[in-house]
Structure 1
């Protein structure tokens, strides 16, 4: 029994000795861990709050645009250029400007929205390219859409090339778009008509 008590005593002393030597580091480690967790939670709350505020500002800008107050809407949109709604509000503002008959303002708005949210970047480029074609600036539209591979982008690229009387390039773009469509795609018929107008022959879906 004495030996067992001595062993327990020795074990207790060893534990106390270890705590004396390592206690400060242990407490510091726990403190750092709690600080990291607290910092992460704070960052998440901040991100959520910022997203909610951006959403409210976007809705306010949208309301101004729908009410026809383009000046106020443009001012509110400018505050969102660096946030998650950046490209979306640019698209809305350009649409409102175009509906108000100011194509040049819409072009400028879409040009200034470059490099924003990549999710909407393709849409921004396509809308800008269509307006550039309408403004007799098809060459700029072709440059803007260089390297595009999606159906909508290739169609607009074909339109821009056709406007410049580059029919071979237009045919290539339209064919590239058709290759990605099945026989029942709703936009297929229009693309086939454009290809025919550019001097091409629409292929059968199974031979594309």
Structure 2
């Protein structure tokens, strides 16, 4: 090997060592960061899986309690979900509220529904069920406030119920009429809303007419 080649190799080696001295800390830090991301992601996935399994277990406990008519057990299971387990907590609380209503525990059902922090997919259902119970409890103003921005037929119907219970027949007629605009002619709910509109002193629009 020529002396020039040895010098070139020596020079290249020095350059590599110099680069490592200047950039070694950053290189090690980058590797460490990469490992942290990998293992951190694995830990998060494992932790998330454990949380999902626990949420599913608590959901099953709630359903078992409802099926056995042991509402205390169901309430404890729903409380353990604490509204933080997404759809598991929401569905369990909805079923618990229904069981409480069936058992004549209206106020308990109202408390259960108030505690639900539902996402957009269940929000309307929770609001509607809560509003119905508030109307039944004579808390008409609370129900009206809950459905202040009602646009769907079911919410408008419930809003009409709250207005009628408050003695505001004219406003109730308006709510029922609006509810009819989005109801199919063959819908069983339509006939009920028409009866409510008639009871409020209104006249249901004929089929094919705009409400």
Q: TM-score with structure 2 length normalisation? A: 0.84
Tell me what 1:16 maps to: 17
Output the CA distance in 2 between the equivalents of 1:4 and 1:199. 106
Identify unmatched segments of 5+ residues in structure 2. none
* Pairing partner for 1:181 from 177, 180, 183: 183
* Pairing partner for 2:107 from 104, 107, 111: 104
How many matched pairs? Answer: 206
- Note the alpha carbon deviations across 1:109-161, whole angstroms, 9 max, x for none: 323x15x1223232222112212222333233222222222222111111111
Aligned-residue offset at 1:8:
4.8
Output the CA distance in 2 between the equivalents of 1:205 and 1:117. 37
- Note the alpha carbon deviations across 1:61-114, whole angstroms, 9 max, x for none: 110111011122212221112322333222222211221222232223323x15
Output the CA distance in 1 between the equivalents of 2:47 and 2:208. 52
Output the CA distance in 2 between the equivalents of 1:83 and 1:39. 22
Tell me what 1:131 maps to: 133
Residue 75 (1) aligns with residue 76 (2):
yes
CA 1:12–1:178: 2 relative to 1, 3 Å = farther
Output the CA distance in 1 between the equivalents of 2:96 and 2:162. 24
Quick check: 1:54–1:83 contact (8 Å CA) kept in 2?
no
Quick check: 1:155–1:191 contact (8 Å CA) kept in 2?
yes
CA 1:172–1:9: 2 relative to 1, 3 Å = farther
CA 1:8–1:134: 2 relative to 1, 3 Å = same
Aligned-residue offset at 1:18:
0.8
Q: Where does 1:127-166 land on structure 2 (aligned, <5 Å)?
A: 127-166=129-168
Quick check: 1:182–1:205 contact (8 Å CA) kept in 2?
no
Residue 94 (1) aligns with residue 97 (2):
yes
Quick check: 2:97–2:110 contact (8 Å CA) kept in 1?
yes
Residue 47 (1) aligns with residue 30 (2):
no
Output the CA distance in 2 between the equivalents of 1:201 and 1:157. 18
Aligned-residue offset at 1:40:
2.0
Output the CA distance in 2 between the equivalents of 1:177 and 1:5. 91
